[in-house]
Amino acid sequence: MAAAENKRAVVLLSGGLDSAVLLAQLRSEGWETLALSCDYGQRHRRELVSAQALAAHYGLVHETADLRALAHLLGSSLTTAGVPVPHGHYTAENMKSTVVPNRNMILAAVAAGWAISQKASAVAYAAHSGDHTIYPDCREEFAQALDNALRLCDWSEVRLLRPFTGKSKAELVTLGTRLGVPFQLTWSCYEGGDRHCGECGTCVERIEAFQLAGVADPTAYA
Amino acid sequence: MAAAENKRAVVLLSGGLDSAVLLAQLRSEGWETLALSCDYGQRHRRELVSAQALAAHYGLVHETADLRALAHLLGSSLTTAGVPVPHGHYTAENMKSTVVPNRNMILAAVAAGWAISQKASAVAYAAHSGDHTIYPDCREEFAQALDNALRLCDWSEVRLLRPFTGKSKAELVTLGTRLGVPFQLTWSCYEGGDRHCGECGTCVERIEAFQLAGVADPTAYA
């Protein structure tokens, strides 16, 4: 089967809002979707529960790539206990502490390995225009270089799908509403509690996205 | 410090002959070397012991990236018990069963993550001209695409060093002999025993490399 005809994709499903909309968007385009979450030792483990709930909602095959054994090589405030998560709006300085070095490439490489074994032709992730350029691996030129490498990693091409690069998070809320995404199942907060804290950088962005979209926010904040 | 001035490299050290020569070569060029081995659940676990012995010989910081938790996503005859390892010379057919999908990209991505956290400017691996083109991720164009992606994965470039792409395994034996590589510490066999079996594909290649180089083979074969 030619790559163009194979519409089976591995979707990187974090449990967050963005990747839930990605899943719905690809399905609306006729893609068969497999879901892959990553456990890199994030303190906000609640998002993995959300990923599972989203996969169950859509009836998907769902696997988790357990990368916790790599924590001693990588590590950031997202994975290391005792390093505080920045509050309020992100700034260049407080975001640096949330960088997991080369995380996107590691996730894409593992997802592509699973895609090859599942005869899928694509790996999809929910990069969008609000992604912070403090993360070097959120840059467009990096994503293009990664796509080029993935197209050569197997005899069949594995494409990197990033349909949201031109969209804001608020636009994803609008799109997801139209596609019936169960936003109440998604998780954004980095604090690690049982409810969204409403104060950390990702909570602030989530709240603003619903406000800008003019959509009722179903999230129960602490 | 500019990337060109930073001569600190993460060397992918499998425990095999090729990466041992790579380590010696980089050190002879003035590189400070850190060693990274990967545990991807290979049945020939003896090579990890060899990697440790080589790192100790050179007095290196040595870490192992434990990727065993990914076995359910990847998997091949190198990792799956019950799938026989091909014997004798490799053929296209019997080598296909030893493919771990996208292994080289996964290893390079993890190594680059560690390189970033260690402020190293390069990841080195021992690709050589004898690498089998049955592996798509041994192709030159893939390596170049991977290099391009790594150069963009952080604000400082991480380069992919592959100084042996034009050399045969026999040439590596010659070079390693000149550099004093302790070949007796290296491990090639895929069979998983305590001594090299002398019959599997990698043992056959090892034996031939010493013969072609005209160097006494220190290996104790079963």
Report pLDDT digits (tens) over A37-89.
999 877 778 999 999 999 999 999 999 999 888 888 886 544 555 555 555 55
Residues 6+ apart with CB under 8 A from B132: B90, B95, B138
For B144-169, how does the pLDDT look when each residue is reduced to its tens digit (9 = 90+)? 999 999 999 888 899 999 999 989 99
pLDDT at residue A138 in the model? 80
Picking from A18-22, A136-140, B20-24, B79-83, which range would have the lowest pLDDT averaged per residue?
A: B79-83
Q: Which residues contact A38 (CB under 8 A, 6 or more apart)?
A: A12, A14, A64, A65, A67, A107, A110
pLDDT of A93 over the 50 cut: no
Among the listed residues B162, B134, B138, B133, the one whose alpha carbon sits nearest the alpha carbon of residue B150: B162
Model ipTM? 0.86
Confidence (pLDDT) at B208: 96
Q: Is A117 on the interface with B (CB under 8 A)?
A: yes
Q: Give exposure, B97-113, as e/b (b: 16+ Cβ within 10 Å).
A: ebbbbbbbbbbbbbbbb
Q: Does A154 touch chain B (CB under 8 A)?
A: yes
Residues of A within 8 A of B113 (CB-CB) are 70, 73-74, 100-103, 105-106
- Whether B72 has its CB under 8 Å from any CB of chain A: the answer is yes
Confidence check: pLDDT of A169 > 60: yes
> In the predicted model, is pLDDT for residue A3 greater than 50?
no
**pLDDT score of A128:** 86
CA nearest neighbour of A187 among A39, A12, A33, A52: A52
Tokens for B213, please give them: 């180089």
Q: Which residues of chain B have pLDDT under 70?
A: 1-4, 75-99, 132-134
- Residues of B within 8 A of A120 (CB-CB) are none
User: For chain A, what is the mean pLDDT?
Assistant: 87
Q: Which residues 34-53 of B have a C-beta within 8 angstroms of A?
A: 36
How much of chain A, in percent, has pLDDT values that exceed 90? 64
The per-residue b/e assignment along B181-218, b for 16 or more CB within 10 angstroms, e otherwise, is: bebebbbbbbbbeeebbeebbbbbbbbbbbeebeeebe
Using DSSP's 3-state secondary structure scheme, residue A208 falls into: helix
Interchain contact, B145 vs A141, CB within 8 Å: no
Which amino acid appears at position B67 of this protein?
L
Q: Which residues contact B8 (CB under 8 A, 6 or more apart)?
A: B31, B32, B33, B34, B118, B119, B120, B121, B122
Q: Are B116 and A101 a contacting pair at CB < 8 A? A: yes
Measured between beta carbons, the chain A residues lying within 8 angstroms of B66 are 69-70
Grouping H, G, I as helix, E, B as strand and the rest as coil, residue A183 is helix
Residue A67 in contact with partner chain B when CB distance is under 8 A: yes
From chain A, pick out residues whose CB is under 8 angstroms from the CB of B78.
Answer: none
Contact A69 B66 (CB under 8 A): yes
Q: Do A136 and B154 touch (CB under 8 A)?
A: yes
Can you name the residues that pair with B200 across neighbouring β-strands? Answer: B87
Q: How far apart are CA A105 and CA A83, in angstroms?
A: 24
Residue A185 in this model has a pLDDT that exceeds 80 = yes
What letter represents residue B73's amino acid? L
Question: pTM for the full model?
Answer: 0.88
Smallest CA–CA distance from A152 into chain B, residue: B142
B184 touches chain A (CB under 8 A): no
Considering only CB atoms, which chain B residues are within 8 Å of A136?
152-155
Which member of A75, A109, A145 has the closest CB to residue B105? A109
Test B148 with A151 for CB contact under 8 angstroms.
no
The residue assigned the tokens 């206990």 is: A81
